[in-house]
Amino acid sequence: MVTETFTPGEDFVVPIGVDTITVELEGTKGQVINNSNQQIFESGDGGRVAGDLSVSPGETLYIRSSPGGASDGQNGGDSIDIRRGGTALSDRIAVAAGGGGGGIYGELDEFYPYDDFLGGDGGADTGEDGQYGSDAGEGGTQSSGGAGGTDSSAGNDGEFGSGGDHPGESNDIGAGGGGAGWYGGGAGSSNVTSTGTNESDGGGGGSNYDDGLDTVTANERGTSSRSYSQGGLVTITYEVAPVAPGASAAYVADDQIDVSISEDASAGDPDNFEVEMRRDEGSWQTPAGGPSSTSTAGTYSYGPSSDSGYGEQIGIDSKFEFRVRAVNDAGPSDWTYTDPVRTRPLSPHDPSINRPDGDTLVIEYTDNSDVADKTAVFYRKDSGSGYGSWQYTDAISTGAVSKGAQRSLTVSVGDAAWFERDARYQFRLRHEHVSSGLDSGFVYADYGNEGNVYFADDFESGDLSAWDSTTGVVATGDASHPNAADTGINGPDSGSYFATFDAEGFVEKSLGDLTGETSVLVRCALATGSMDNASEYTEIQWYDGSSWNTVERLDHSYNEQGWVEVHEIIPDSWLSADSRVRVLGVGGLGGGDQHAVDRFVVSDVLHEYTTPATPSNLSLDASTGREITATWSLSASVAAKADVRDTETWFGPTGDSLTGVNRDSGMETYTFTNLLDGERYRVEVNDSIIQHRRGSPGVEIDSERAAGEATTNLPAPTALTVSGVTADSADVLFEDNANNKAGYRAYSGPVSSFEAQGDFDAWTEQKGFQRVDDESYFGDWSAYAQRPSGDSDSQPRASRVYHDGGEQIRAFEFYWRETENSYGGGVRLKNSNGDYELGVATDNPAWVIDDANGQREPATGEGGYSHWVRFLVVFDWSAGTFSVDFESYGPDEATYSESDIPLKQGVDVETVELWNYHVVGGWGDGALEMWWDGISTYTQNGGDLPPQYSLNYTNGYTKADTNISNARGGFSIAVRFALDGTANSKQSLVGAGQHLLQIEDLSSGGSYRAWSHTNGPSESALPSSDFVSGDVHEVVWTYDYGTDTGDFYHDGEKIKTYTENHLDDIEQIGTVETGSWSDGERRLQGKIDTVRIYDRKLSDAEALDVLGASPPTAGLLIKYDYDGGPSNTSLEDKSPNGWDGDFANSPEWAPPLSRVKKTLSDLKNGEAYVTRASIFTDDTEVFDE
């Protein structure tokens, strides 16, 4: 408390921190004089005013006085006042009045009544009147000055502020002056008595004033002790409020923040310090976990406080601010605010990973922090040699954190250098507050490799049946349950149920033998509430076979936080044959604690695989008929570690959709079988893994596919013969062994086999060229050329114009052999412009191609010099290319093939030239000793023939829906077939309603049987010889309804005629089957390539020609020529009826049973021709061998 006194003329400046002062004003006593010759009467005392005044720091109050009335006797006392806002009388807010001056009697008289001439006291609201009677001055009031005395020498009235004067006269003694005040008192008056003695009256006291004070504690008359000589006095008393203290806050732990308070002594002393806090920018509150008021400065700790309000206590994942102020009687200081201080953030909530594809990974989670300003993602990578250390990545970390927000962080191969194909990764993440350096615990992005979810319970069963032991635990969906109401949760973390329990409650699960496992992860959501201190908590424990160990605990700093994501890796040393886990509440004897758990999982950290490496070194081998063997290398270094891995092959005809098949893990070769001949197939191969997730198979991740194409072997026509030769034509017949083709072609052209001298003579420029019979490939003769070493020539050994004027031939072929003395030789083809198109040769023994790019040796050939070699050149004039097939008939049977070789000119072929050849000098260089034979060119004769097929019925049959009328005179069936086996005792050729033609008794050689009605008798017929698997036969059964006569024909011979009453009735026929009867019964084990069915009995002549080139047309019901091929799934009926036979099950197209025939035309009479036949597909063409 501060007290200051002020005399008139001084100013008071209100100090900082002061808003109220207490004032005391004391007015002045009237003047007192001494005179030994006169009787002096007492002057009045001054007034007193006291009270409280509200002020503002820095404000100035002016201490001033007003004069008492002047007199030749005793002057009136001065007033004292406080002025505000200025120094004028009107600025006064409080006044303590002065007393009036006392009167005087002119002589001493001990018997005179002195009290009659006293001065009036100053104050209170009205000053006291002076003495004596009406001659004395009156006191001032609140609204006017006191009236002066009215005796012979009158006194002046008091005025606003000052007392009235007594002017006096020469023969007077002065009367008392009026006391000053709000309004002054009037001066006394004086006179001369009848005895001649002067006497004067007292002056009136001034009035006090207190209306300017907020509170008045005193307004008194005559209580001032201040003498006239002392003057008036103002005493001001005030309390100085303290200044704001120093304050700071510091993080110690998630359950402790220390606040340090320091006093600022520059102002008033504080009585105490008040402390408030706010959490996460909420309202300011009185802290429950630490002092809210302290009497001294110092450092104080704040922490959790059980069931207190969330904003009143310290806990994890919050921003805290404190404010402190000093307080004394003068009031509080301003607040001092600490900088925000944070506790550790909570972890991201319920993370998972989504994999759109093998190159993309999406981490999904929920923000669960009020303080974090970043989510940091860490990864570790295994590129084949095991996992490296954990690494932070900026690529998918994010600075956006907002509690409750759903987040997706995506990374794709190519976004970051570390995220690559053919690798596997593990991810973990945490919330961070960057500037404070406080981080949450890590959570792992996902879990559950194959078979490694050791335990999981989301409590969606509504009970605790998944656990082995429980105490005091209930499964509920009610967040207001007494064991959960103060945990901060709103319900289950997921689903409809969670488990909750009080102190000492627990759930326990035995996990069995986990020895040998690694990176075992416990993952769950926990919530806790009403924890009173650090000895109470929700805890996960692990049993290591001998004792329980703490995995993680939520103490009282987690009070009311709601669901908290908890992930912890179990040390490998804890994994035992008796591994167990439990969640329990600890402490809290007496109850009231709250614990909750949901989504409890024990598993392992998931491996996230990226796209495996593409298989390499894919090669295709089509050298075996109807097969392609694919071989490749699996390059993926990490895929082998996947839980499920396989190799996928994709296969099919080029240009069609491919069929994918999962093959064995690690497979690097596969053979595709049962393929079509001459078909170009595409093979694609990829590595494949299954990305497991949470214990179950997830997305399949495939590598890119290695791809290749190959054309299967197209079997060449065989057994080619020429017959029916005329002057300008000839028939070419051959066997077709292909199950797929686009058609057939026949070729003819001039040939030099040198069997006739004229053939030899057709060659010109013969240099060392002879016709000899010591070696030959065809017949007895060949051409021979010899040239000694060192003899160089730029001309061919021989030449012949094969096509005068030039022709775009299809193929060129010749045969040769040489001796060890020969450097080499070959053939060059020249066009009608005189330019070379190509050359093929041997460089003893290497094989040589001379094309548009020059001469090269693509194959080593075969040494030995005692065998013939065949060179075949096939042209593709539209593409400007050719292909070669080189084949040695020596012991090594060396071969070489190449296609798409560029022609030099691409014009035509006119002349064939025979040359010597050596790699050093090229054509015309080097010694030569060589034989040539069968030098021929081929040009297609006539157009393409359509393909012919049979159908293999081993795995199926055909079925046609017909409408064969019952108005028919008979029935005939003709079939060309071949058996593939004789095991089945009964094999149907054709089933047509009431009629059936089959083969039976195969164990005894076999016979035919036919039914005129399947409900009646049947007739059999024996062929002339036993049926042998693979032999082709033709059978005709014909029957007349009118005469009940039937005939069997076998391979062009009638083998039986019969007449019996076999026909019960004639029915309309609906279904016609080939290769079976009655929907697949009596299945044929063999092939058919021709079927004819008639509604009448055929004559002998017709029956013998029905399977030939010109079958009868009258009465034709069905005509199956079997020319569809693999792209068709039905037999085309070429009769007018169009009753196609649809495939049932899977009959397969096969080569035709009869020889293919092509007639050559426009031949020249007397010319030697070579004839060739080919089978072709869209992808290849092969010539007869």
| Same-domain check for residues 436 and 459 | no
Beta bridge partners of 608: 425
User: Given this model, what pLDDT does residue 133 score?
Assistant: 63
Who contacts 543 (Cβ-Cβ below 8 Å, separation ≥6)?
549, 576, 578, 579, 580, 581, 582
User: Which tens digit of pLDDT belongs to each residue from 693-752?
Assistant: 999 999 999 999 999 999 999 999 999 999 999 999 999 999 999 999 999 999 999 999
CA 908 vs CA 116, 259, 802, 806, 1163: distances in Å: 169, 104, 11, 6, 21
Q: How far is residue 728 from each of residues 431, 806, 1159, 1165, 1168, measured CA to CA in Å?
A: 96, 22, 11, 6, 12
Beta bridge partners of 443: 429
Rounded Cα–Cα distance for residues 1115 and 969 (Å):
10
Q: What angle do CA 591, 595, 597 make, to 5 degrees?
A: 155
Q: Quick one: 532 and 654 in the same domain?
A: no
Sign of CA dihedral 575, 578, 584, 586: negative
Q: Per 3-state DSSP, what percentage of the chain is helix, strand, and coil (rounded to 5)? A: 5, 45, 50
Burial tier of 742 (Cβ tally within 10 Å: 0-12, 13-18, 19+): middle
Q: Does 729 fall in a domain?
A: no
In a domain, 621, yes or no: yes
Structural domain boundaries enclosing 974: 950-1153
Q: What is the pLDDT of residue 18?
A: 87
Enclosing H/E stretch for 1102: helix 1100-1105
Is 132 inside a domain boundary? yes
d(CA 228, CA 26): 12
Rounded Cα distance, 453 and 603, in Å: 4
Confidence at residue 768, expressed as pLDDT on a 0 to 100 scale:
82
* CATH, residue 576: 2.60.120.260
1055 and 992 in a common domain: yes
> According to the model, what pLDDT value does residue 286 have?
97
Do 185 and 81 belong to one domain? yes
pLDDT at position 982 is 75
Q: What is the pLDDT of residues 569-597, one digit of tens each?
A: 999 999 999 999 999 999 865 567 899 99
Residues 106 and 47 in one domain: yes
Nearest to 1060 by CA among 1093, 1011, 1107: 1011
Residue ending a domain, choose from 884, 912, 937: 937
- Cβ atoms of residues 49 and 208 within 8 Å: yes
Same domain, 673 and 647: yes
| CATH at residue 855 | 2.60.120.200
Residues 1024 and 991 in one domain: yes
DSSP secondary structure letters along 257-306: EEEEEE--TTSPPPSEEEEEEEETT---B--SSS-SEESS-EEEEE---T
Give the three-state DSSP class for 492: coil
Strands 1169-1176 and 1181-1183: antiparallel
Residue 730 lies in a domain: no
| One domain for residues 389 and 324 | no
Q: CB 963: neighbour CB atoms within 10 A?
A: 9
Tokens for 52, please give them: 């409280």
93 within domain boundaries: yes
Q: What is the number of domains present in the chain?
A: 7
* CATH for 318: 2.60.40.10
Q: Are 382 and 423 in contact (CB under 8 A)?
A: yes
Weakly modelled stretches of the chain, pLDDT under 70:
36, 106-115, 133-134, 169-172, 194, 196-197, 588-591, 789-793, 864, 1064
236 and 250 in a single domain? The answer is no
For residues 797 and 812, give the distance between their C-alpha atoms in angstroms, rounded to a whole number.
Answer: 19
CB 413 within 8 A of CB 611: yes
231, 273: one domain: no
Domain annotation covers residue 842: yes
Do 841 and 960 fall within a single domain? no
Write the DSSP string, 530-544. ---STT-EEEEEEE-
Residue 495's SS3 state is coil
Structure confidence at residue 106 (pLDDT): 67
Residue 744 counted as domain residue: no
Query: Which of the 8 DSSP states describes residue 891?
Result: T
Distance (Å, whole) CA 244 – CA 240: 12
- The amino acid sitting at 948 is Q
Does residue 450 lie in a domain region?
no
> If you write DSSP's letter for every residue of 1083-1094 in order, what string do you get?
---EEEEEEEEE
List the structure tokens of 929.
Answer: 């000793």
Would you state the pLDDT for residue 950? 96
The 3-state DSSP class for residue 1002 equals helix
Residues 328 and 372 in one domain: no
Distance CA 880, CA 902 (A): 6
Answer with the one of 570, 604, 638 that is the final residue of a domain: 604
CA distance 674 to 660: 16
Look up residue 797 and give its DSSP letter.
S
Q: Which of 604, 623, 642 is the last residue of a domain?
A: 604
